[in-house]
Amino acid sequence: MERNILGHAQRETSGASTFAKYNFQYHWALCRIIEKHKSNCDYALLIEHHEDVVIADSLYGNSASFEFFQVKNTGKPYTPDSLTKREAGADGPKSSILGKLLSSCLGTAYESRITEIGLVSSNGFSLGQKDNKLKLDIITSGDLNKECLSTLTEKLKSEIGIEIFPENLKFIVPKIKLENQEEFVIGRFAELVNEIFPNSHCNAVNIYRAIIDEIHRKGQNTHDFTLWEKMVEDKSLTSHKVKDVIAVHTTSPNFQDFEKDFDYLATNDMKWNTLTYRKIKKKVKQIVLRRIGHVSAFDMSIMRIAQQALKSVPEEDYTDASDYIDSVVIKAKEYRIETQVPEHDDILCEILYCFIKGDE
């Protein structure tokens, strides 16, 4: 198992236990990953883990980079003063909004792997810009005028000791609004499916409900994780999971040719009963739709093992296709496919997928 670079005690966990108050950050996070999904990116979305929203760009911990975001539902735009204001506390001044965000990122074991730090505000920002005529939805350090940048840097130097304003810190004005969060995200999922699977039919409401339920469930988990794989499994919403949910609730003509070959194999060779046929077909359909247009690094790793197993078992040694497939499954387990796909039926589906696809 891989050591989890994010496996440090978290600054706070109260946000996870009161997740119902933070629907806005969940919906904003979904919009963020929908855009990544359109770009065929792998990701693991973490809610209330070190920050409001953390997004890893890989399902493999040793190569993952991260984006850290605080998402604020505010009544008025943030100013340099409100961003750096420190309220009095029992043990001294509390962290400012910017200080709190940066303390989650700077001086950590994963600092060098953070590509973006973002403060998202539902009511935007009132910051001094080089060109105040520009209405920007993303404000970077390069957009700030000298006076604003100097004020922020000096306040942060006093609070957390930084000398240089972080270049990867961004102030983000979201497109999603408080009043129409659910409808906005449902519409984005519908657009996503249409882009991935042209001429398909999907139930965008069911896709949304399945994913928002998953993200709420994962958001409630307040545990720390020393192992990367366990954090991804128990705490994150992955691109792999989103693809599976979309596949379950989508009918696509892209599946039809594959379906004919699968049905022939299932009926004439595997001779499954109705329940087994329906179960395996559902799983295989998810794999096919998940891999249309983009095969992730995670999928490629599984496919390599399945294809290696198929090549290692000579077809000519078998007269029965079901015996051949069973032997390939055994060979794939010898090649440790269970480290990627632990369940027997899922391994079988991976073998069937590669067997039917052949050398395409």
Mean pLDDT of 224-238: 94
Q: Cα–Cα distance between 340 and 333 in angstroms, integer?
A: 10
Q: Does the pLDDT of residue 58 top 90, yes or no?
A: yes
pLDDT tens digit sequence for 267-298: 888 989 999 999 999 999 889 988 876 788 88
Mean pLDDT of 85-98: 92
- Do 153 and 282 share a domain, yes or no? no
pLDDT tens digit sequence for 166-189: 999 999 999 998 888 999 999 999
What is the per-residue pLDDT for 19? 43
- Do 260 and 156 share a domain, yes or no? no
Task: Answer whether residue 8 is part of any domain.
Answer: no
Boundary-marking domain end, from 247, 281, 301:
247
Share of the chain above pLDDT 70, in %: 96
For 185-209, b where at least 16 C-beta lie within 10 A, e where not — what string?
bbebbbebbeebbeebebbbeebbe
Give the count of alpha carbons within 13 A of 159, CB side only. Answer: 24
Q: Does the pLDDT of residue 13 top 80, yes or no?
A: no
Q: pTM value? A: 0.81
Specify the amino acid at residue 13: T
Task: Answer whether residue 4 is part of any domain.
Answer: no
17 — pLDDT class (breaks 50, 70, 90): very low
128 — pLDDT class (breaks 50, 70, 90): very high
How high does pLDDT run on average in the chain? 91
Mean pLDDT of 193-216: 92
Mean pLDDT of 140-157: 96
- Do 92 and 240 share a domain, yes or no? yes
Q: Does the pLDDT of residue 16 top 80, yes or no?
A: no
Position with higher pLDDT, 213 vs 294: 213
Range of the domain at 103: 14-247
Boundary-marking domain end, from 196, 231, 247:
247
- Do 152 and 46 share a domain, yes or no? yes
Residues forming beta bridges with residue 55, ordered by sequence position? 45, 67
Mean pLDDT of 57-67: 94
Task: Answer whether residue 148 is part of any domain.
Answer: yes
11 — pLDDT class (breaks 50, 70, 90): low
> Which among 16, 354, 34, 4 is positioned nearest to 192, based on CA atoms?
34
Share of the chain above pLDDT 90, in %: 73
What is the per-residue pLDDT for 12? 62
Calculate ∠ Cα 85-89-93, nearest 5°: 45
What total number of domains does the chain contain? Answer: 2
Candidate ranges 62-71, 88-97, 212-221; pick with highest mean pLDDT: 62-71
Q: Residue 113's domain is classified under what CATH number?
A: 3.40.1350
- Do 280 and 207 share a domain, yes or no? no
- Do 194 and 156 share a domain, yes or no? yes
Weakest mean pLDDT among 15-29, 105-119, 305-319, 325-339: 15-29
What is the per-residue pLDDT for 238? 95
- Do 235 and 330 share a domain, yes or no? no
- Do 276 and 164 share a domain, yes or no? no
Q: Does the pLDDT of residue 234 top 70, yes or no?
A: yes
